[in-house]
Structure 1
Amino acid sequence: MVRALEPVPRGRFVCEYAGEVLGFAEAHRRIQAQTAQDPNYIIAVREHLHDERVMETFVDPTHIGNVGRFLNHSCEPNLFMVPVRVDSMVPRLALFAAADISAGEELSYDYSGRFHNLPGTSREHKPLEEENRLRKPCYCGSRTCASFLPWDSSLFSTPASSP
C-alpha cells in the first residue's frame, strides 16, 4: 500500500509505472509460469489508433521497477494512467491524480484503465464463470467494487488462440 505524504492536487503527475517492456510472447510466457499465489505486476496497455490498429505495450516491474508496482487497484481510484511518449515510440506509463488527494490517503488506480477513460462506466464486462476461477478477488471495498481484479484473458489463453 502506498500513501500520499502530502496533499496532491488533481491533475498532478504522481509517478511512473516503470518496468521491463515486454513483447506479447514474453508477457504470455511469464503469466503462464505464475501460480495463483504469485503477485502479477504485468500491465497490458492497448492504445487504439485512428486507423483501427491496436498498439500493445506490456510492462513488468517484477524485477526492475519503482514505487508504481506497489500501488493497489481500486474500482474507484484516485489516480489514472496515461501512456506518454518521450523520444520513443515505447510509451512511459504516467500516473496522475484524478482528484485532490489528502496527505495520508492511499494511492490507487484502476488496473483496467476503464474508470477514468470510458465515460459513464467504471466496470468491466462480466467474465465467464470459468474465467472467474483464474481471477484474483478485489478487496478495494468501494461501493462499486467489481469483486475481481481486472483481467486480460489474452495473456492467459493458449498460444493457438492468442493474437
Structure 2
Amino acid sequence: MLKPGNVIYECNSKCTCLSNCVNRVSQRRSDLSLMIKRFPKKGWGVITRRKIPERVFVTYYYGEIIKSTEADRRGSQYDTKGLTYLFDLDYNAEDHDECAYTVDATYFGNFSRFFNHSCDPNLVVYPLINDNADIRLHHIAFFTSREIQVGEELTFNYFGNFYNEEVESGLSKIKEKYVCKCGSTKCIGYFHK
C-alpha cells in the first residue's frame, strides 16, 4: 500500500487492459457488507457485517462537486444547521486558498458521508485518479488501514492522514473545536471539521 498522501493512478477507459487488471482496484464491484447505524452519542455511522482485510478499497466519497467559493458559502449555512458533509479536494494544495473544488455530500452522496472521525481510524484516505487528467478533480478514496472486525465502525481521521505533534500544535490555535466522541484510547479529546 502507498504511503498516505501519495496519489493513486489507476488504469482508465483509454487503457487496453482487462477489467481484472491489478491497476483497477477501485473500479471493481465491491462485496462489502456495510450498514448505516445510529450511535447514541455521535449520530450516524457505518459498521461492517463482515470482516474486511487490510488494504481493501471501500468506496469513494461521492457528492456534488462545487467550487471552493461556493463551499465556503454553503459551509457557513451548514454550520448553523449542524451539517458537515463537505470534503475538500485539496491534494497538492498548499493551503485552503489553493483548493479549487470541494465535494458536497449533503444532498447527493453515498454511505461514506456517514463515516465518523476517530483518533485511531481503520480507514485511510487517498486521492485517486483514473478517468480525469485534472489532478484537482481527483476521487477521494477510502481504503482499510488494518483488518476491520464484524460489527466494527468504519472511521477515518478528519485531520487527514498526517496527524502529528505539529498538526496538533496548529489545531490547538483553532477556536472552533468539537468534542471528540471516538472512544479510542488514543483520543486527543477534540477535532476540527
* TM bracket, shorter-chain basis: 0.7 to 0.9
Unaligned runs of 5+ in 1: 152-163
2:137 counterpart of 1:86: no
Q: % of aligned pairs identical?
A: 30
- Does 2:139 correspond to 1:139? no
Match of 2:68 in 1: 24
Question: What amino acid maps onto 1:60 in structure 2?
Answer: D
Q: Does the aligned pair in 1 maintain the 2:63–2:108 contact within 8 Å?
A: yes
Query: Greater relative contact order: 1 or 2 (C-alpha under 8 angstroms, separation 6 or more)?
Result: 1
Match of 2:153 in 1: 106
Partners of 1:123 and 1:146 within 8 A in 2: no
Superposition deviation, residue 8 in structure 1:
0.7
Q: Which protein is bigger by CA-based radius of gyration? A: 2
Structure 2: runs of 5+ lacking an equivalent: 1-44
Contact kept? 1:2, 1:106, Cα under 8 Å: yes
* 1:23/1:57 contact within 8 Å kept: yes
Whether the 8 Å CA contact 2:65–2:101 is kept in 1: the answer is yes
5 Å-filtered alignment, 1:1-150, equals 1-48=45-92, 56-88=100-132, 89=134, 90-114=137-161, 117=162, 124=168, 125-128=170-173, 131-132=174-175, 134-150=176-192
* Distance change (3 Å), C-alpha of 1:71 and 1:19: same
**Once structures 1 and 2 are overlaid, which stretch shifts more, 62-71 or 36-45?**
36-45
**TM-score, normalised with respect to structure 1:** 0.76
TM-score (norm 2): 0.65
Q: Aligned residue pairs: how many?
A: 142
